Amino acid sequence: MKKIFLLILCMIICISFCACSVVDISESNHGELYFVHGGKNIKEELSEEDFDTIAEILNKKILYRETLYCGFSKDISVVIGDRTFCFSHDACAVVYVLEEDKYINLSDEEYETLTKILTLYGFSFPCI
């Protein structure tokens, strides 16, 4: 009986550690850009097409804890719903989710697509 209890306890612990949280912005339908750097002070609503592309990139990404030294700030971000997605100052393909205090990884292709969209609004990378 003790072995069964310990086995069940171990399974519960493993499942709780393995349970990953993911970005869920599926209910959101607009986003705002913020870029305050190098004399620029941009605050602008995303177009519907750009919002859809960025939301597709960020939605359902796995969130993880880490200590990164890329440099993130809400001054270089996109706000979608109640989440602030902060972009790396030095062009890392990682996004910091401010409210979660967690990060998400992007593929090189996703990062390139994202930065192309953001530069249309006046962002510049790297912005160290």
- Per-domain boundaries in the chain: 21-120
**CATH-assigned architecture of domain 21-120:** 2-Layer Sandwich (3.30)
Tens digits of residue pLDDT in 60-108: 999 999 877 778 989 999 999 999 999 988 878 999 999 999 999 999 9
The mean per-residue pLDDT over the stretch 10-26 comes to 64
Give the pLDDT confidence score for residue 44 in this predicted structure: 96
Confidence (pLDDT) at 92: 86
Contact residues for 76 (Cβ-Cβ < 8 A; gap 6+): 34, 35, 36, 37, 86, 87, 89, 123, 127
Question: How high is the pLDDT of residue 91?
Answer: 79
Q: H helices within the chain, ranges in order?
A: 2-18, 48-58, 108-120
Q: What is the pLDDT of residue 38?
A: 87
Buried b (16+ CB within 10 A) or exposed e, 1-23: eeeeeeeeeeeeeeeeeeeeeeb
Q: Quick check: pTM over 0.95?
A: no
- Report, as an integer, the average pLDDT of 50-63: 95
The number of C-alpha atoms within 13 Å of 123 and in the hemisphere containing its C-beta is: 27
